Amino acid sequence: METQPLGVAMIGYAFMGQAHSQGWRNARSFFDPAVVPELRVVCGRDAEAAGDLARRFGWQSVETDWRAAIARDDVDIVDICTPGDTHAEIALAALAAGKHVLCEKPLANSVEEAETMTEAAQRARVDGIRSMVGFTYRRVPAIALAQRLVADGRIGEVRHVRAQYLQDWLVDPESPLTWRLQKERAGSGALGDIGAHVIDLTQFITGDRLAGVSGLTETFVKERPLPRSSSGLSATAGSGTGQVTVDDATVFIGRFAGGAIASFEATRFATGRKNAIRLELNGTRGSIAFDFEDMNVLNVYEADADEPGFRRIQVTEPHHPYVAAWWPAGHGLGYEHGFTHQAADFLTAIAAGTDPSPSFADGLGVQRVLEAVETSAASGAAWTPITPPAIG
């Protein structure tokens, strides 16, 4: 007896829309989940652009009003791929309509929104409605393996956390203004866009949470040319440029609740670094190190080995997380595969009636760290404690 397929409505059709489309489709092809997703509707204000995506990826229909998409009876899952300022409204409406929700990160643009969303998710959960936030990097096999090894005690008690997310796409001061550079749309800059990922990853891998931070933010290029199509961007009156109202870069230090001390950095000005997610944890028994520029590899040091050294593990063996579904050993995966793993895990949780992870509460936890960094930066790098979530 075959289960019914679940209809997916995806809100948004740009970079993330394409990645999520690939995720839903591949989940079905490679993971054969207990419930099968149907790509029912893609939703975007630009009907032509959304239609183009639909044609290329096999979405069965297009909507321009996200409320209409959510309202459809043939939609069971709402997948939110829009900028952060719309997450709360769409997610709350979808949960209210009894739909499972997958929401891109950061969960929201403020702690308040994130709290409201988390509460709504927890109410909906009672009725079997599942929700998840899209920190896909957790699902890079090497990172999933790192979490497993740390949880198994392979590096002992963690003492040092070192995390960087380095990009360079804004080094050129003539690179135009986009919604990602305006606070009202994006919430924050490098901090929320990419810093959020490494905050989540370190909390995920350690199983611990940041208890306090002290940080700086910086905007190196304060004004940028408007792009040709600048609808929705706040321009400086009478000029061809607009203000950058978010951070270009942030550095902060912190303490985890369990005692580890930490150093974080997120920047779009690290010339030559394209998507360098670098994680290093040092524990009492060993260490792990990861760099997304070599994403199929995890480096692990175990101090009690005979002739120890960092072991360059190619995380491409069938027994590694997610890998068995794909290709033979050594035939590495790419960036996009995390989205397939995310879709497959979400579908599996829905079918099994279990809580998918990372939850909205996890997203709220990251949001609190983001807020604490901003608070600290605004008050001269003052130490800013982070209260643990009462909910979640």
Residue (of 108, 122, 91) closest to 185 by Cα position = 108
Six-digit token string for 284: 């009492």
In the bound complex, what is the minimum distance in angstroms from residue 230's beta carbon to its own copies? 20
Is residue 25 a contact residue for its own copies (CB under 8 A)?
yes
Cβ-based neighbours of 227, under 8 Å, separated by 6 or more = 176, 177, 178, 233
Between CA 279 and CA 337 the distance in angstroms is: 20
Window contacting its own copies (CB under 8 A); options: 74-82, 86-94, 188-196, 271-279: 271-279
The whole-angstrom separation of Cα 189 and Cα 179 is 10
The answer to the question of residue 314 lying near its own copies (CB under 8 A) is: yes
Could you tell me the end-to-end alpha-carbon distance of the chain, in angstroms, rounded to an integer? 36
Token output for 327 = 């290709």
Q: Using an 8 Å Cβ cutoff, are 131 and 360 in contact?
A: yes
Task: Pick one of 93, 216, 257, 351: the residue that binds its own copies (CB under 8 A).
Answer: 216
Residue 82 interacts with its own copies (CB under 8 A): yes or no: no
Which residue bears the tokens 């440029």? 241
Angle between helices 15-26 and 47-57 (to 10 degrees): 30
Q: Which amino acid is at 205?
A: I
Nearer to its own copies, 53 or 108 (CB): 53
Asked if 169 interacts with its own copies (CB under 8 A), we say: yes
Report, in Å, the least distance between residue 156 CB and its own copies.
8
Q: State the minimum distance, in angstroms, from the CB of residue 380 to its own copies.
A: 4
Compare residues 252 and 360 and give the one whose CB is closer to its own copies.
252
Residue among 165 and 360 whose Cβ is closer to its own copies? 165
Query: Does 257 engage in binding with its own copies (CB under 8 A)?
Result: no
Residue choice 72, 125, 183, 311 for contact with its own copies (CB under 8 A): 311
Going from the C-alpha of 311 to that of each of 20, 274, 289, the distances in angstroms are 33, 25, 10
Please choose, out of 193-201, 233-241, 252-260, 342-350, the segment that lies near its own copies by the rule CB under 8 A.
252-260
Which listed residue (272, 353, 387, 390) binds its own copies by CB under 8 A?
A: 272
Q: How far is the CB of 221 from its own copies (least distance, A)?
A: 10
Binding residue (CB under 8 A) for its own copies from 1, 4, 15, 228: 15
For its own copies, which is the closer residue by CB, 108 or 260?
A: 260
Site string for its own copies, 328-367 (x = CB under 8 A): xxxxxxxxxx------------------------------
CA 391 to CA 119: how far, in whole Å? Answer: 8
Contact positions with its own copies (CB under 8 A) in 277-306: 282-287, 292-296, 299-301, 303, 305
Query: By CB under 8 A, is residue 9 in contact with its own copies?
Result: no
Q: How far apart are CA 335 and CA 323, in angstroms?
A: 14
Among 175, 275, 348, 375, binds its own copies (CB under 8 A): 275
Nearer CB in complex with its own copies: 308/388: 308
Regarding 168 and contact with its own copies (CB under 8 A), the answer is yes
Q: Is 222 a binder of its own copies (CB under 8 A)?
A: no
Give 279's strand partners: 163, 290
Interatomic CA distance for residues 24 and 320, integer angstroms: 21
Interface with its own copies, residue 267, by CB under 8 A? yes
249 binds its own copies (CB under 8 A): yes
In the complex with its own copies, the residue whose CB is nearer, 109 or 287, is 287
Tell me if 179 contacts its own copies by CB under 8 A.
no
Question: Binding its own copies by CB under 8 A: which of 3, 67, 274, 318?
Answer: 274
Of 28-36, 74-82, 190-198, 363-371: span binding its own copies (CB under 8 A): 28-36
Q: Are 256 and 206 in contact (CB under 8 A)?
A: yes
Distance CA 380, CA 281 (A): 28
Residue 271's Cβ-side half-sphere holds a number of Cα atoms within 13 Å equal to 3
Q: CB atoms < 10 A from the CB of 91, how many? A: 28
Give the C-alpha separation, 185 to 250, whole Å. Answer: 19
In this structure, the number of other CB atoms found within 10 A of the CB of residue 331 comes to 10
Residue 325 · residue 30 · CB < 8 Å: yes
